[in-house]
Structure formats: C-alpha cells, structure tokens
Chains A and B, each alone.
Chain A
Amino acid sequence: MKNEHGRFGEFGGQYIPETLMNEIHKLEEAYEYYKNDPEFTAELDKLMREYAGRPSLLYYAEKMTKDLGGAKIYLKREDLNHTGSHKINNVLGQVLLAKKMGKTRVIAETGAGQHGVATATAAALMDMECEIFMGEEDTKRQALNVFRMELLGAKVHAVKTGTKVLKDAVNEAMREWTSRVDDTLYVLGSVMGPHPFPTIVRDFQSVISKESRAQILEAEGRLPDAVVACVGGGSNAIGSFYEYIKDEGVALIGCEAAGRGVDTDENAATIANGSMGIFHGMKSLFCQDKYGQIAPVYSISAGLDYPGIGPEHAYLNEIGRASYVPITDEEAVSAFEYLSRTEGIIPAIESSHAVAHVMKIAPEMPKDSIIICTISGRGDKDVAAIARYRGVEIYE
C-alpha cells in the first residue's frame, strides 16, 4: 500500500499541535529503524509466541457452517490471545518500541477497555509506568476492566469531558502527551491518529492476516473468498485484511456499528454516514455536522463507539478494495448469542458485528466457498451488558 508522507491516497497526514511534531518524527525514525532490526523483531516474535500465545487458531466452525448451509466458515481466534483480544499484538510492539526509545512511561486511550488492559499488561511486563484514559461512560459500561487495569498497576483516568466516551479519551490522552513528551509514548490503540500511528499499528496487527493466509492455505489449499472483521478505528480489520489486499479475489468486508440503525441519530457508522474531515491527527471520514463539529455517536459496543475510521480504511473504501457494512446493536447481540450457543465461543460484542454479517452472507454463498471471520476479542466483558440489553438486571 502506498504510504508517502503518511498518506493513503488523500487520507492520513499529521494534523497535531506543534508541541508533538518533533516527538512524532522521533517515533517515525525509531520505528523505521527497529522494524528492520533483527534483535527487535526477534524479541517481538518471542513475546508474541511465548507471552501472547501466537499463532492464534484458525478454527473451522463446522456447526455454524452446517447450520447456515452455505460458505465454509473459519474463525480467526484473536479472542484466545493473552488479555483476550487482538489489542495485545499492537501493544507488545509499541511498548517494546517505547522501551527501545528510552521511554519510561506509556499512556493510552481505551473504549471497551481491551486496549487499556493490553497496554497495562505490556507495561507491567516491561516495567513501564502506565496511565489509561477512559471515558467516564465507558468506565461504567466496563467497570470490571477498570479494576483489571488497576490490578495490573495502571492508573485509570475517567474522562469527564465532552461525550465521555472513546473520542474524549483520545482527546485527553493527546492533551496529556503534549504536557509530557520526554519520557512518555502515547500507545495508540487503533490504526488512527497522526502518521506514523496508522502504519505502525497496521504493521503490528498484520500478523493476523499473515497467519490466517498461511493457515487457510494449509487447511484448504486456497485463499478465502471473503475476510470479515468489525471496524471501529479499524485495527483488527486492517490486520485481518492486510496480507490479502494484493489478492484481488478475496473480498474484504468491514462491519461498522449501526447502533439503533444507520437512519437514526444513534449509530457510529462512519463509512455509511460520515464525511471528509480532519480530526485526531488525520484526514479521514468522520461523523460530524455541517459545521464540522464532531457528532456524538452511539453503539452498544464501547470499542466501536468512535466517530471516525482509520485513514487506510477510508482509502480502501474509496478505491473499492474493501467494502463496509453497517450492523445494528440487535443484529450484533443476536450474533453474540448465536455463536455462544452454536460453537461454544462467546465473542466480544465488537466481534459479534462481524459474526452478524457472516450470518447474513454465508447462506447465500456456495458450499465450496470460504469465509474467514475475525473474532477480535472474547465476550466475557460483555456478558452483563448483554444480559441488561435482554432485560436481565445483573451487574458486575
């Protein structure tokens, strides 16, 4: 993918305060150096294998396949990684990079808490000070993850500004970074923000498609017809897509959060409803009003509750290489329940958006076709929220 000066087509860029510019350049230089440094890559490989538990399984969901009666469905099990989601892939890379850069402290935003937990975990492992910014609303929706991060030694800040969700957590983390750059790296959790973050995060997450491509070739002797993943900022999706971008016969499908419906005011479907904008350091698509005020967005999933999308996704959408579909809360919750019952796998509510789309397309596809669906995280964290959605008043 062409990426000159941090651009994907016209998307991307470095729209951040001057205070951060030298630091961003240092990060870019360090990354360009270490990504080719045999010692760094060996260390990271070891962490991925021995700590995160990679490679993750590519599991043939036979019961689901039979039940839906169409395409063969494979699940890429990122939920089985240490800390329970794909977030660890990026975090181990970035925290190791921070360490090499001589940083002693990492900060991060988190929505559902998965990236915060992963960052706190890597920080504990690599002896870094760690502070996590999380929207106050999300600290309530995902109270267990707050305590989990604290258990790992991180300090969690409940962000009370703005809409008190993920975008506000990013705002606060950026503000914090401008006030303390010398010893601190902002470990961004998705393929968003200013260059080089969209590229760094994509590279660390592309392990998902590197593995799945080899695994499916071994299992089936051919490439899949479609790869399906959920999209908030888009890190598990870009990781799931990346190695297949050159394989034109493989359909790449991102599933975004339609909340209560794309036609309602309560959704986070950026490709469906967004327009061009410049925010959080990047030019991309955003949910916003006609004056460019960023819109409050909504999804049952705290991890997809973001008004923008990574610049490389906006580009893949524009050139037609990937397509993006909206999935409602109701469809995602039904898929959450379906996969739990059918395969005994409880997916994260984020990942359930991808499962929901597979449930729609698999029956229409021939029996010899193949879908790979990324289960980006495990659903334990969502059980109480799903129960409440279904009218069962349980609390964590």
Chain B
Amino acid sequence: MSRIKDAFTDKKAFIAFLTAGDPDYETSLANFRAVIEAGADLIEIGIPFSDPIAEGPVIQEADIRALSSGMTTDRVFELAAELRRDYDIPMVFMTYANPVYHYGADVFFEKAAAAGVDGIIIPDCPFEERGEFAETAERHGIDLISMIAPTSEDRIKTIASDTKGFIYVVSSLGVTGVRNEITTDLSSILALIKEATDTPAAIGFGISKPEQAERMSKLADGVIVGSAMVRIVAEYGKDAPKHLAEYVKSMKAAI
C-alpha cells in the first residue's frame, strides 16, 4: 500500500514543494529536512527542468538556480534516498515529461522506487498521454498522479476514474505562483471528483497564506504549497531552513 495514503489518514494533508538542488544540493537537503521536521505530511521534490512551461517566474528561477549549481536527475535520486533513510514521509517527484522520457522511463522509475519515492506529478502529461508512463510507473510501484484543472469540466469524471496516489486539483488558470485571490468554483469540482473516486484530492497553485490554506483545506483533503516556499529559499539562502520550518508550522496550524 502506498505511503501516500498516510498523508491523508485522519487529517488534512499539508503538501510542500521545493525544487531539488535550489540553490545547491546541501542547502536543498537541509531545507527538505526542515520542512519534514516542521510537520509537512507529504513532500514534492521538484526535478529541475530547463523549460518548465507550467511554472510561474518563482519556480522557473529555482529551476535555473538548481541547474546552474550542477543538479542532475541522478543527484535528485541521491537526495531522495538520503531523505528516505531518515524519514517515512510520503515523497513524490514533480517534473516534466522529458526528463523522465529521455532518461528512459523504466530506469527512471526503477531508480525513483529504489530511492524511496512514492509517486510522480508530470504536468505536461494529461490523461490522453498517461499511457506514456502509467504502466511503467505502476510496475515499479510509483503512483502517476493526475491533475484536474478549472477548465476540465466534462473531463473530471474520466480523469478521476483512473487515479493513483492523490489528485492534484489546479486551483486557478495559468501557471504556478502566489495569488491574492482564488476565484474558481472549487467546491463543485471537488464534488464531481468525490462522486467518481475515493482517491484523496489536494488543491495547489496560488496558495501562500494560512487563511487560504484554511479555506482550501475545508474543500479538499489537502493543500499544496510551492511558490511561497521557494520564495523563502530564494530570500534566505543558507538561513532558509528555520524560516521554512516556521512557515510550515503556521500553515499546518491553519488547516
């Protein structure tokens, strides 16, 4: 049984995203440790990509910092394995189709599984293209996580009927990044999802403040935060761990 389930058992999950290797391997590892120890329920480890088309400027810049520091997919496997040695927390990768495909999906998922990774989010792999990775991922015990967007409408039921791990509900149109307001009618989207599946659903994109997290956690099974955390990494550099820990605690308390 997937560890991912644990994140949602008897609680609302706080899911924390950071780009691996931002700004360098050691700091990034310390950041992940701080986030886990502060109480995150699931971590998303971003494998940096040269052209992340679903990301806003904050995460784009994190990817550039990580790649410039020499971060590679192999080093991300090492980072995940180091975390897995010390923590039982569910971990998922978040990256784009090409780093997985070009590495060789079979080898990629084999190494991801060996590093203790439980799932993967690939934003440029929609339902129609799941066949590219789904079977290989499943063979290695990696959950290929589905995304549902505000524009999914009649696709929601189809997507929700074939999901693994959790469902990533995209809160807003556009790319990742901090937003002041989320206007999508998320409760109807969540209702449709719940009719189709009992796979837990978490909301991401644009969430940064505890008040938003509180509101979102009432609608869904979990809350995903990325850009707001990456911004802390960018702002505090080597001092980021303690600031990240404070932030995670404040968000956890709100949901």
Contact = CB atoms under 8 A, between A and B. Distances in A.
Contacts of B147: 17-18
B148 interface: yes
Nearest to B98: A292
A171 B51 contact: yes
Contacts of A291: 72-74, 99, 102-103
A262 B60 CA distance: 30
A179 B175 contact: yes
Interface of B: 49-51, 53-54, 56-57, 60, 67, 72-74, 97-103, 123-129, 132, 147-155, 159, 170, 173-175
Nearest to B100: A292
A178 B60 contact: no
Given A17-B147, A293-B67, A161 B60 contact: yes
A13 B149 contact: no
Contacts of B129: 13-15
A147 to B, nearest CB: 27
Contacts of B175: 175, 178-179
Interface in A123-161: 161
A19 B151 contact: yes
A21 B155 contact: yes
B34 to A, nearest CB: 27
B102 A18 contact: no
B174 A162 contact: no
A contact face: mostly helix, strand, loop, or mixed: mixed
Interface of A: 5, 13-23, 161-162, 167-168, 171, 174-175, 178-181, 275-281, 283, 286, 288, 290-294
Contacts, number: 123
B57 to A, nearest CB: 7
Centre residue among B73, B126, B127, B147 by max chain A CB count within 10 A: B126
Contacts of A293: 49-50, 67, 99
Contact of A179 (B124, B126, B174): B174
30 contacts: A5-B128, A13-B132, A14-B126, A14-B128, A15-B125, A15-B132, A17-B124, A17-B126, A18-B123, A18-B148, A19-B149, A19-B151, A19-B170, A19-B173, A22-B154, A161-B57, A175-B53, A178-B54, A181-B173, A277-B102, A278-B102, A278-B124, A279-B97, A279-B98, A291-B99, A291-B102, A292-B99, A292-B101, A293-B99, A294-B98
A294 B51 CA distance: 7
Given A291-B99, A292-B99, A180 B54 contact: no
A22 B98 contact: no
Nearest to A23: B151
A275 B102 contact: yes
Contacts of A14: 126, 128-129
B153 A278 contact: no
A231 B151 CA distance: 35
Contacts of B54: 17, 175, 178
Top 8 nearest A-B pairs (CB, nearest first) are A292-B102, A179-B174, A19-B149, A278-B97, A292-B98, A293-B50, A18-B149, A292-B99
Contacts of A13: 128-129, 132
A278 B126 CA distance: 13
B136 to A, nearest CB: 14
A18 B53 CA distance: 12
Contacts of B101: 276-278, 283, 292
B153 A22 contact: yes
Contacts of A179: 173-175
